[in-house]
Homo-oligomer: A and B are copies of this chain.
Amino acid sequence: MSINQDFQEKAINTIRFLSVDGVQTANSGHPGLPMGAAALAFALFTRHLKHNPANPQWVDRDRFVLSGGHGSMLLYSLLHLTGYDLPLEELKNFRQWGSKTPGHPEYGLTPGIETTTGPLGQGFATAVGMAIAEAHLAAVFNQKNQKIVDHYTYAIVTDGDLMEGISGEAASLAGHLKLGKLIYLYDSNKISIEGSTDLAFTDNTQMRFEAYGWHVIKLADGNDVEAIDAAIQTAKADDRPSLIICPTIIGYGLPTLAGSKEAHGAPPGKAERDAAKQAANWPLEPHFYIPEDVLAFYRQALDKGAKAEREWSDKFAAYAANYPDLAGEFSRRMQGQFPSDWDADLPAFPTDMAKGVATRNASGKVLNEFANRLPEVIGGSADLTGSTKTWIDGSPAFQADSPEGRNFHWGVREFAMSAAVNGMNLHGGVIGYGASFVVFSDYARSAIRTAALAHIPSIFVFTHDSIGLGEDGPTHQPVEHLPALRAMPNLYVVRPADANEVTEAWKFALRNRHKPTFFLLSRQNLPVFDRSVCGSAEGLSRGAYVLKDFGESEPSLILMASGSEVGIAWEAAEQLAAEGHSVRVVSFPCWKAFEDQSQDYKNQVLPPHITKRVVVEAAIPMGWERYAGEESRIIAMPGFGASAPFEVLYEQFGISADNVIAKAKELLQ
Contact = CB atoms under 8 A, between A and B. Distances in A.
A620 B485 CA distance: 12
Contact of A204 (B164, B199, B211, B450): B211
Interface string A271-309: 000000000000000000000000000000000000000
Contact of A163 (B96, B413, B445, B471): B413
Interface string A412-423: 110110000000
A102 interface: yes
A474 B440 contact: no
A539 interface: no
Given A117-B475, A160-B412, A383-B192, A487 B620 contact: yes
A479 to B, nearest CB: 7
A480 B70 CA distance: 22
A483 to B, nearest CB: 4
A475 B453 contact: yes
Interface of A: 26, 28-29, 69-70, 95-99, 101-104, 106, 116-121, 159-161, 163-169, 172-173, 175-176, 192-195, 199-208, 210-213, 381, 383-387, 397, 399, 409-413, 415-416, 439-440, 442-443, 445-446, 449-450, 452-453, 470-476, 479-480, 483-490, 620, 622-623, 625-626, 629-630, 638-640, 642-645, 648-649, 652
A391 to B, nearest CB: 9
Given A202-B176, A620-B487, A104 B476 contact: yes
16 contacts: A26-B471, A69-B475, A97-B643, A104-B476, A106-B473, A106-B643, A163-B383, A164-B169, A165-B413, A194-B386, A194-B409, A200-B413, A202-B213, A206-B211, A449-B480, A480-B489
B165 A639 contact: no
A200 B212 contact: no
B483 A487 contact: yes
A399 B253 CA distance: 32
Nearest to A96: B644
Contacts of A450: 475
Contacts of A194: 381, 383-386, 409
A411 B200 contact: yes
A193 B436 CA distance: 12
A176 B193 contact: no
Given A202-B213, A387-B193, A104 B475 contact: yes
B163 A164 contact: no
Contact of A472 (B103, B167, B169): B103
A626 B106 CA distance: 35
A502 to B, nearest CB: 23
A474 B106 contact: yes
A409 B199 contact: yes
B165 A416 contact: yes
Given A103-B472, A207-B208, 16 more contacts: A29-B471, A97-B644, A102-B643, A119-B440, A119-B475, A159-B412, A164-B413, A164-B443, A194-B381, A194-B384, A203-B213, A208-B208, A208-B212, A483-B483, A623-B625, A625-B625
A453 B471 contact: no
Contacts of A70: 472
A103 B471 contact: yes
A102 B476 CA distance: 11
A638 B595 CA distance: 12
Contacts of A626: 625
Given A175-B202, A207-B211, A415 B487 contact: no
A106 B442 CA distance: 19
A210 B480 CA distance: 39
A211 B202 contact: no
A95 B445 CA distance: 29
B95 A473 contact: yes
Nearest to A408: B200
Given A169-B168, A411-B201, A118 B475 contact: yes
Contacts of A176: 200-203
Contacts of A103: 471-473, 475-476, 643
